Copies of this chain bind each other. A is one copy, B any other.
């Protein structure tokens, strides 16, 4: 259980792919996509993860987060219970200095959307901005994965 401090940015182009250290596919659904209490089921790298997030504070920068790894088979069963709108994406990890950027390239109904996230230790952390990093969208609800499930990018 933790408080998550995270900033989110659009990605200008795919040049980030030259810097990737690790990548994997994520399939996820929501048992609740309400922004005050999202309950997410995720499958990645042959394991399941259940994540519960509270509402955002400080313009979306800070959010309560609880996360547990669960067996793959259980995650698959829970995914079947989820709300309509399963989100699929490729996640790329990029290390820049002491920080890790996680870049999500969305598939399916959200194809064309690429978002980068960086997790910080404090709200005031200063980090190097790579050339492919675009506009900041921290706290913009329409870029929440929970919203992309029901209001995908292709329909914007």
Q: Residues on A close to B: CB < 8 A?
A: 1, 31-32, 34, 36-37, 39, 52, 54, 64, 66, 68, 70, 73-74, 77-78, 80-83
Contact = CB atoms under 8 A, between A and B. Distances in A.
Given A1-B77, A32-B31, A68 B66 contact: no
Contact of A36 (B34, B39, B74, B81): B81
A33 to B, nearest CB: 9
A39, A64, A68: residue with the most chain B Cβ atoms closer than 10 Å: A39
A77 B66 contact: yes
A108 to B, nearest CB: 21
Per assembly, the copies of the chain total 2
Given A32-B32, A32-B34, A64-B81, 15 more contacts: A1-B77, A31-B31, A31-B52, A32-B37, A32-B39, A36-B81, A37-B81, A37-B82, A39-B39, A52-B78, A52-B81, A54-B80, A66-B77, A66-B78, A68-B68
Given A31-B32, A64-B77, A77-B64, A83 B37 contact: yes
Contacts of A77: 1, 64, 66
Contacts of A64: 77, 81
A37 B39 CA distance: 11
**7 closest cross-chain pairs (CB), A and B:** A32-B32, A54-B81, A37-B81, A31-B37, A39-B39, A1-B74, A31-B39
Contacts of A1: 73-74, 77
A98 B64 CA distance: 44
